Structure 1
Amino acid sequence: MTHMIATFFYVGHLRPAPGTWGSLAALPTGWAVYLVVGPWGLLAGAVLAYVLGVWATGVETAGKDDHDPSEIVIDEVCGQWIALLPVAFGAARAEADILALWPGWVAAFALFRLFDITKLGPVGWADRMHGPTGVMLDDVIAGIFAAIGVGLLAWWAHMGFLANVNPA
């Protein structure tokens, strides 16, 4: 059970780049969660993924030298769902089809992968914590940074850039 959770239904065994596969797998599952329970359900899913991820990662890495094996991708799922929250809440607020906001999906994915891979600032600090909390927390922080970026890009697109376009 812990292996299935930690690898997000074995997606973490895909190669190359299991973290990217985990992030990609988070997109359709995040969409499904949103369809069933809305944006608050996606937020609850991210919290649940974090709690289960800390537990499953702890069990899977107990007594091993590698504190963050590449097949553990529940952290990417959690972080990716956090990155999608502005899209989910924006779609719900606008009563829009969440898939119509596809640029937000692309931005959430790209920004999350950027922050997760580069480990800038607090993301790297959390990654250096080692242990299950560090494994999960670096992706939570990367997800928060990506969500902020998605929100800023949405603002720019809807308020900044589009507000300055003069229709003829």
Structure 2
Amino acid sequence: MSAALATFFGAGHLRPASGTWASLIAVALAVAAHQAGLALLVPLAFVLATLAGFWAVPRYLSTRADSDPSEVVIDEVAGQLLAMCFTVIPLWRHGVADLALAAWPGWVVPFLLFRLFDIWKPWLVGRADRRHDAAGVMLDDLWAGLFAGLCSTALAGLYHGLIQPWLS
């Protein structure tokens, strides 16, 4: 069970760039939940993925020599879902039903920013990654998801508050 959860039911074996594939799957699940009128499943899924990751990753790593094997992607799923919460919850509160087409920047921007922070590993993301333990595997992606969500919100605020009114 720990291997299934750590690899997000085999998504971690997709190549190349298993973390990117897992992030895309998380985004697709978040968009699908929102489109189905179940936007609040996204924060619930984030909490469940985080708890599952903190349970499964140490168990999975105990049988491996590598402290962060590429097939472990539950951390990317949790981090990407956290970033998506910053889009899904406000859009749900404002009654925006079409996240897939009408509000496409609401999922593209958090995806791109999450991948940027996960690869670049600035500040707390890098500090967590340098732990080289199971908690670090999870924490670097949670920090990346938080930063991606905050930056997405700031960019949306700039666009809707300054740029869009100026263009009108």
In the alignment, which residue of structure 2 is the partner of 1:58? 58
**8 Å Cα contact 1:55/1:132 also seen in 2:** no
Q: Is this contact kept in 2: 1:127–1:135, CA < 8 A?
A: yes
* Match status 1:158 vs 2:160: yes
Q: Deviations over 1:46-71 (max 9, x none)?
A: 11111111111111110432111000
Verify the 8 A CA contact 2:117 2:148 in the aligned structure 1.
yes
What is residue 130 of structure 1 aligned with on the other side? 132
Q: TM-score, normalised by structure 2?
A: 0.92
CA deviations over 1:69-116 (Å, ceiling 9, x no partner): 000001000011111112101211220122221112110110000000
Judge conservation of contact 2:6–2:56 (CA < 8 Å) in 1: yes
Give the counterpart letter for 1:38 in structure 2: A
Over the matched positions of the two proteins, sequence identity in percent amounts to 44
Matched, 1:38 2:39: yes
Look up the match of 1:29: 29
Mind listing any 5+ residue stretches in structure 1 that lack a counterpart? none
Determine helix, strand or coil for the equivalent of 2:165. Answer: helix
Q: Distance in 2 between matches of 1:46 and 1:77?
A: 8
Task: Name the counterpart of 1:147.
Answer: 149
Q: Residue type matched to 1:154 in 2?
A: A
Aligned residues: 165
Structure 2 gaps, min length 5: none
- SS of the aligned residue for 1:101 comes to coil
Partner of 2:104: helix, strand, or coil?
helix
Residue 113 (structure 1) aligns with: 115
Higher helix content, 1 or 2: 1
1:23 maps to amino acid? S
Q: Structure 1 CA distance, aligned partners of 2:112 and 2:73?
A: 17
- Between the aligned partners of 2:77 and 2:33, the Cα distance in structure 1 is 12
**Aligned equivalents of 1:7, 1:61: Cα separation in 2:** 11
Contact in 2 for aligned 1:23/1:80 (Cα 8 Å): yes
| Root-mean-square deviation over aligned CA pairs | 1.4
Query: Is 59-68 or 115-124 further displaced after alignment?
Result: 59-68
Instruction: Give the aligned partner of residue 78 of structure 2.
Output: 78
Q: Which letter does structure 2 place at the counterpart of 1:59?
A: R
